[in-house]
Structure 1
């Protein structure tokens, strides 16, 4: 299939150069809501009909190469080979699937109170989702960092049907308790509220509950997944958890005992993350963690 694929990279500074030469510059001279991060840009792109200029469109941060460990050219080539895909993505944190049942388990340990704030927002926007019923996120669905490229139809369904209503609610009712709560500060290597971390997790939540989106993940071998680990502790957890989690994913057999074990391991991993990067710069941001 000869389809046009465009990945835009936001440029925030006057003399900022593209981090990946295959991407299209998207100049953001004025950023009225920097705390919204990519969420605000995706909504603006939809409103300005940028997603209608090509068959498939995405928005990747300048940290794509650093996080994803592949070139933009390689990812674009992958997308063009997926004839029946509605959306393609690459997950720069594939190791997390081995100690977190889904994005909300990890999100709650990383940002306590995130799930409640997200559910309040979803309820206020009348999206009808129950986050407690979110299914397992294995490699088919687990995605962080918004590295996805979707068809025009996917943009209509996901950005137009989910992200835009959230933006409209936040714009029209900023004093609503749900709107205020998602803007509470949380722990991260850069100052940030709950909102961008909620939005990031909505992608996996959406595609895992909408099978007809024809979602295709960039494939990674076990050895490649180990290469995404950022420290020895992550590599240790991956080695110890991999066989059991792979077997459970293969048989779609996640009992309560295994989910509880994953929750415990995820909590330990997250505490190690806080402690380890409180004293060391994180390789993706070169900053230490600040606790919200």
Structure 2
């Protein structure tokens, strides 16, 4: 790769986090009062700071990046160098979800109460397609954890897209839905230190951005061999089956995938889980992204 390497920061919040940060990344102390938007607010601050001026590619990753992805800094730089010319490099540290759920919106229902209902309300209020929560999305569109390394063209399109959606939604949502979305009910199990719904919605806007306002941009999904190796045979077959259905836009194959997927989820999680979640994570019709 010619020119300056990507300017990649690694966010940390405690002194001991520095000990596990990758020396190839630039340490970024993000201690202090946090808003409910977490990394997104940091991205906005960085985008107007001297830290990224003149950078052809930049990003800010969690101190847990290697733990979640299996990639170290050198491997990330090598992957980007081997695939030049893209506007944004992203990944999905949880590939086991790609063949199990229609999309990331319905996957969120298993972790955050009323997630599909409130996400749909947010999208509609923001002027975005509410049917996004119902579509069958290919694995190529799965991205989680906000692990982005992008060009100025990407950041200058993505950040206003998200912030604009938030502002429009806040202006148009009912008082009850707005209060719910900004409440800590999203984290009823206290897995995420009492987060509201908003960071989980923002995280899921990226694939929608690439299909809409960012359709002119070129994205590259980084392969993650270690998480891939941890997938079982059913997760891999289900992903392949769903991707074929999306590629061919085959409702028949998609329906077969839904049946196989439902049997797998019942087997994996048991009857009680299936009774609680299976209908909620299964849209009533076949609709492709």
TM-score range, shorter chain: 0.7 to 0.9
SS state of the match for residue 186, structure 1?
A: helix
Query: Are 1:213 and 2:217 counterparts?
Result: yes
| Structural mapping, 1:193-212, within 5 Å | 193-209=196-212, 210-212=214-216
Which of these residues, 20, 23, 39, is aligned with residue 21 of structure 1?
A: 23
**Compared CA separation, residues 265 and 151, structure 1 to 2 (3 A):** farther
Query: Are 1:93 and 2:87 counterparts?
Result: no
Q: Which residue number in structure 2 is paired with residue 115 of structure 1? A: 116
Q: Which residue number in structure 2 is paired with residue 183 of structure 1? A: 182
Which of these residues, 248, 251, 262, is aligned with residue 248 of structure 2?
A: 251
SS state of the match for residue 164, structure 2?
A: helix
| Structural mapping, 1:1-292, within 5 Å | 1-3=1-3, 4-14=5-15, 16-17=17-18, 19-33=21-35, 35-48=36-49, 50-124=51-125, 126=126, 128-133=127-132, 135-162=135-162, 164-166=163-165, 176-184=175-183, 185-187=185-187, 189-191=191-193, 192-209=195-212, 210-219=214-223, 226-229=228-231, 235=232, 237-238=234-235, 241-255=238-252, 257-258=255-256, 260-261=258-259, 264=262, 268=266, 271=269
SS state of the match for residue 216, structure 1?
A: strand
CA RMSD between the two structures? 3.4
Tell me if structure 2 keeps the 8 A contact 1:8–1:23.
yes
Tell me if structure 1 keeps the 8 A contact 2:123–2:130.
no
Deviations 1:230-287 (CA, angstroms, capped at 9, x unpaired): xxxxx25315525533532453435452464377368648956x98xxxxxxxxxxxx
SS state of the match for residue 83, structure 1?
A: coil
SS state of the match for residue 149, structure 2?
A: strand
SS state of the match for residue 27, structure 2?
A: strand
Output the TM-score relative to the length of structure 2: 0.75
Deviations 1:175-231 (CA, angstroms, capped at 9, x unpaired): 95444222232245333322221111111222244432211111356xx554244xx
Deviations 1:19-53 (CA, angstroms, capped at 9, x unpaired): 211111222231232x4321222232234465444
SS state of the match for residue 59, structure 1?
A: strand
Tell me if structure 2 keeps the 8 A contact 1:106–1:266.
no
Tell me if structure 2 keeps the 8 A contact 1:137–1:208.
no
**Compared CA separation, residues 253 and 51, structure 1 to 2 (3 A):** farther
Output the TM-score relative to the length of structure 1: 0.75
